[in-house]
């Protein structure tokens, strides 16, 4: 039963991590604009953010944060503001003529950008709390195994996005359509930021 609970937790977490959203948008955009190195940096930063929340959730702090309305509000303000900042950078880059991207998603600081993006997402806390509850594990070693397995799944998904979107044909397409694609990214990041700011996470 423990193995079934672990598998269910990993699959649930993989669906959440791999679904279209700010994280997958950021890693794919970074990889297309800056290549595999920056894409992998973003993927590792996102993974570190996930791992930090997973560690806190495993220690019981995740459930505490999820129950404190003020903590969720602070997190969503930080996360929403950061997404709107990325949207502004994307929009400014999209309006810049030329071939070269203006580094809109933090290509030179991709690792840091990835960490901030996932640490500022209050929904990540709730996903971890739900996943650890789904596993049905209470023993510290079992909880640690669940956190490690889910983090590894998240890392694999983000790295896959980075490697797929940094392929030469994809990057060439990005260069040809840079301004249109960055305008689209700006709109998506802006929408995600507004949705997060308007999101009413209810403490459990």
Give the other-Cβ count within 10 Å of 116's Cβ: 20
Per-residue confidence (pLDDT) for residue 1, from 0 to 100: 46
Q: Which residue has the tokens 């507004």?
A: 194
Quickly list H helices, the chain: 2-18, 22-34, 36-58, 61-67, 69-94, 110-119, 122-135, 140-165, 168-176, 178-198
Question: Residue 174 is encoded by which pair of tokens?
Answer: 């990005």
Q: Mean pLDDT throughout 85-89? A: 88
pLDDT digit string (tens) for 28-70?
999 998 899 999 999 999 999 999 988 888 887 766 666 666 7
Per-residue confidence (pLDDT) for residue 28, from 0 to 100: 93
Per-residue confidence (pLDDT) for residue 108, from 0 to 100: 59
Average model confidence (pLDDT) across the chain = 82
How far apart (Å, rounded) are the C-alpha atoms in residues 191 and 197? 10
Instruction: Give DSSP secondary structure letters for 16-57.
Output: HHHSSSHHHHHHHHHHHHH-HHHHHHHHHHHHHHHHHHHHHH
pLDDT digit string (tens) for 117-167?
888 887 777 788 777 766 555 577 878 888 899 999 999 999 999 999 999
Answer whether residue 101 shows pLDDT above 80: no
Answer whether residue 169 shows pLDDT above 50: yes
Domain boundaries defined on the chain: 2-198
Q: Which residue has the tokens 């979107």?
A: 165
**Share of residues in the chain with pLDDT > 90 (%):** 27
Q: Mean pLDDT throughout 74-97? A: 84
How far apart (Å, rounded) are the C-alpha atoms in residues 166 and 32? 5
Say what the pTM is: 0.81
The answer to whether the beta carbons of residues 188 and 90 sit under 8 Å apart is: no
């Amino acid at each position: 039963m423990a193995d079934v609970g672990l598998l269910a937790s990993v699959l649930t977490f993989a669906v959440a991590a791999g679904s279209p959203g700010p994280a997958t948008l950021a890693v794919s955009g970074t990889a297309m604009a800056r290549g595999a190195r920056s894409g992998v940096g973003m993927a590792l930063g996102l993974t570190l953010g996930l791992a930090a929340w997973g560690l806190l959730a495993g220690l019981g702090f995740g459930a505490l944060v999820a129950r404190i309305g003020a903590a969720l509000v602070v997190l969503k303000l930080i996360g929403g503001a950061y997404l709107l900042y990325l949207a502004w950078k994307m929009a400014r880059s999209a309006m810049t003529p030329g071939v070269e991207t203006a580094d809109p998603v933090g290509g030179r600081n991709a690792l840091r950008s990835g960490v901030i993006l996932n640490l500022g997402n209050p929904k990540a806390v709730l996903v971890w709390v739900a996943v650890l509850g789904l596993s049905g594990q209470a023993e510290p070693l079992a909880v640690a195994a669940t956190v490690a397995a889910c983090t590894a799944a998240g890392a694999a998904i983000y790295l896959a996005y980075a490697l797929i979107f940094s392929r030469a044909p994809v990057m060439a397409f990005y260069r040809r359509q840079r301004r249109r694609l960055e305008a689209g990214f700006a709109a998506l990041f802006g929408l995600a930021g507004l949705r997060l700011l308007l999101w009413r996470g209810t403490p459990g």
